[in-house]
Amino acid sequence: MENPKGSDWQSAKTNKDIIMGIDLLYDGQFDDAESLFRKVIAESPDKPIGYFYLAMVTWSRLSSGFWSPNTVMEYKVRIDRTIEIAKNRIENNSMDCYDFFYLGGALGFKGRFELMQTKWFSSFSLAMKAIDALKTCKKMDPENRDVLLGLGIFDYYTARLSGVLKFISYLLIHRGDRGEGLRKLHLAAKEAVYSATEAKSMLIHIYLFAEEDFLKAMKLSEELARKYRQHPRYRFFLGVCYIRLGMDREYHDTVNLLRQRSLQAKTLSEAGLWGKRALYLEAVYDLFQKQYHDARAKLEVILNKKDSLNDPEMIAWPLMKIGMSYDLEGNREEAVNYYQEVLNMENGSGAQFLAKKLLKYPLKQNDPFIGY
């Protein structure tokens, strides 16, 4: 067995390349990140570290709306390859703690993908296997903070399960702990080497859309918006925080910043990326203010400039928002038409998960997902 605390930890160059690549991912620079992680694979082809982050490039593309059949297949192939490499090292007794970390991470992200496909049992089964691997990593290196991302997510969300998922959690004998999950995620956000940004991003989603603790979400969004300036994601979330907190001046400043970045862009696709988020954020504001006609007008402007090649996210999600506007207005029939349109899209940009939910249950006033 190699150094149980991780040979990857000993390689300063690998650490530097991986951390640089992770930052590129959160800044939306997917091609540059892919080149860097391919270099890591070339230097360490027998270790899962490079394969895992190569899979995270594809996951990041999916998260940014690129849900084409080819991208989905690429993700499945890459995540399975990571699992295979990690398992081979473990079976050959040449593993260190990070082999279990990347095995757990790959199983966990595969489970998250299955969850988005509403494959409940498969998702939870993968999650349990991921937790076993992460616990082994932690046992080998008790000071490892990276494992706390996966452990924290599992603790938090199993505590919040309902319906069929709650039944499965009882079946597999695991009880979540909301407070412990949040504690682990905050510790990962503060001290993890590779997982800190993902922990902060996860906490933003939790505080915005589950806990509805908008002040905590705002502080984390401010930090990531300052750090990642090449992509509007965290600036948008910050704007949503301002809306929920009633900070109108800061909300308008955010819209103006998004517009300014659009005007300063060097390419049409970059201009669209920022400009459409400004309109989309304004539409979110209108929906919370019950100004449904105004929201639809802005969303139609986005759809009239659709760019399926560079920004497919701003096709499916504006359609979802229009459906939401009709739901909130009491026009359930028209809302269902839009949700069904999203569900039938070849590239639903991750919105189909929410479309399925809203086809079953109408959206309610002030639902946090109005801000998604």
- What pLDDT, in 10s, does the model give residues 172-203? 445 678 999 999 999 999 999 999 999 999 99
Q: Coil, strand or helix: which one is 348?
A: coil
Spatial separation of the C-alpha atoms in residues 296 and 325, rounded to whole Å: 7
Give the total number of structural domains in the chain.
2
Q: Is residue 101 within 8 Å of 47, Cβ to Cβ? A: no
Taking only the tens place, the pLDDT of each residue in 2-20 is: 445 554 443 545 589 999 9
Determine the Cα–Cα distance for residues 59 and 53; give it in Å rounded to an integer.
9
Same domain, 88 and 25: yes
CA distance 54 to 31: 10
Residues 84 and 117 in one domain: yes
What is the pLDDT averaged over residues 214-226?
98
What is the mean predicted confidence (pLDDT) over 69-88? 96
Range of the domain at 86: 1-134
Determine, yes or no, domain membership for 262.
Answer: no
Has residue 344 been placed in a domain?
A: no
Quick: pLDDT tens for 230-270: 999 999 999 999 999 999 999 999 999 999 999 999 999 99
Q: CATH number, domain at 45?
A: 1.25.40.10
Answer yes or no: do 63 and 186 share one domain: no
pLDDT score recorded for residue 170: 45
Tell which of 184, 211, 238 closes a domain.
Answer: 211
130 and 188: one domain? no
Tell me which of 134, 162, 179 is where a domain ends. 134
Residue 174 is predicted with a pLDDT of 55
Q: Which DSSP string corresponds to 105-131?
A: HHHHHHHHHHHHTT-HHHHHHHHHHHH
Question: 224-240 as b/e, with b when 16 or more CB fall inside 10 Å?
Answer: bbeebeebbbbbbbbbb
Of 102, 134, 166, the last residue of a domain is: 134
Compute the CA torsion angle 19, 223, 299, 369 (nearest 10 deg).
Answer: 90
Within this chain, do residues 192 and 128 fall inside the same structural domain, yes or no? no
Rounded Cα distance between 58 and 187, Å, is 27
The tokens for 1 are 């067995």
Given a cut of 50, is residue 371 above it in pLDDT? yes
